Amino acid sequence: MSYNYFLGCVIPGRLPFLEASVRKAFDKIGVNVGDQAKCSCCPDPTGAAQLDHESFLVLGARNLCLFEESNNNVLSLCSGCTETLKTVKFILDKDKEKKKDINSKLKLVGKNYKGNVEIKHFAQVLYENLEKIKEKVKKPLKDLKVAGHPGCHYLRPSEIMNWDDPLNPETLDRLIEAIGADPIDYSLKNDCCGNPLEKSDKDISLSMLESKLQSMKEAGADCITVVCPACYQQFDFNQREINKKKNTDYNFPVFYITELIAVALGIDTEELGLNFHRIKVSNILEKIA
């Protein structure tokens, strides 16, 4: 199966170092991935979709058409984008009337949605290469206690995502194990990080984050790992804000799972741009050196 990357907006436009880690990790593992054609915003399942479902379908279907034209499946770098593209496909493949209607609009830009590409989250493809990753580990991340945050749109709605257990997910923990680290259990593992509510109520958004951080702290985590740029921003950008507000001292370094994998596979940390993280990661790098 061949893939092209679907980058989304947040990673290329705000967190390019995460993109670097994904590309380097896949290169090292030996999975070839091409580049996306001229894509737009997915669009955001927590944003535009909430305003107008029809526009959500049209823009999502246009993106899928580009992959159909290139004969490549989608390898998405973001959980939100994965959910959007899978949802659009799910709806249009099931509802012929809707597909006809959306195609009548796509005709304006010379496109036609057929429904013959598959969409995968990058962590799913990593999981499918679990044995390869284990074989290639050069520097196991021994004794590193990692709180994996699978997040919501990586898993749910399970009818559409059709991947991992939506209530007791384990794929992320298996990836953490594969690189020699220790995936810890914590009580709120399955909870939302709160990021989507930044758009409607920042206080609730931060309270949700704080609950998660507290639960990770109680479980003795050294650091956090995520598979979605929205979750990444929530954890890396907002710990300080909580500390300021609540007089707490959360200071968990936050990694994309591909950053940890890249380090374990022996990729130079300077190449990964780990210095662009807001919460410094140096103590973790020392610990695993």
Partner 1 sequence: MQMVDFEFRNEIIKEDFSLNYCYQCGTCSSACPVAFITSGEYNPRKIIEESLLGLKELLIKDQKPNVWLCCTCQMCVEECPQNVFLTEIFEKIKNKIVQLGEPYPEAFKVQAKAVIENALAISLTPPITRRREQLGLPRIEFADINEIKKLLGATEFEKKIKLNGGK
Residues engaged in binding partner 1 (CB under 8 A) = 7, 9-10, 12-14, 16-17, 19-20, 23, 35-41, 43-55, 58-59, 62, 105-106, 108-109, 152-153, 156-158, 166-167, 190-192, 194, 196-201, 204, 207-208, 211, 271, 273, 276
CB of 283 to partner 1, least distance (A): 23
CB of 253 to partner 1, least distance (A): 19
CB of 34 to partner 1, least distance (A): 11
What residue type is assigned to position 34 of the chain? G
Nearer to partner 1 among residue 194 and residue 253 (C-beta):
194
Nearer to partner 1 among residue 14 and residue 142 (C-beta):
14
Nearer to partner 1 among residue 178 and residue 274 (C-beta):
274
Distances (CA, A) of 12 to 5, 29, 77, 179, 255: 11, 22, 10, 26, 17
CB of 123 to partner 1, least distance (A): 18
Distances (CA, A) of 267 to 66, 77, 136, 264, 272: 32, 19, 11, 7, 8
Assess contact for 3 and 74: CB atoms under 8 A.
yes
CB of 75 to partner 1, least distance (A): 15
Nearer to partner 1 among residue 173 and residue 210 (C-beta):
210
Nearer to partner 1 among residue 79 and residue 225 (C-beta):
79
Q: Are strands 3-6 and 73-76 parallel, antiparallel or unpaired?
A: parallel
Within 8 A by CB and 6+ apart from 212, the residues are 149, 188, 191, 193, 194
Nearer to partner 1 among residue 196 and residue 253 (C-beta):
196
What residue type is assigned to position 178 of the chain? A
CB of 62 to partner 1, least distance (A): 6
Rounded-to-integer distance, Cα 195 and Cα 50, Å: 15
Region of 97 on the Ramachandran plot (φ > 0 left; ψ -120 to 50 alpha; else beta): alpha
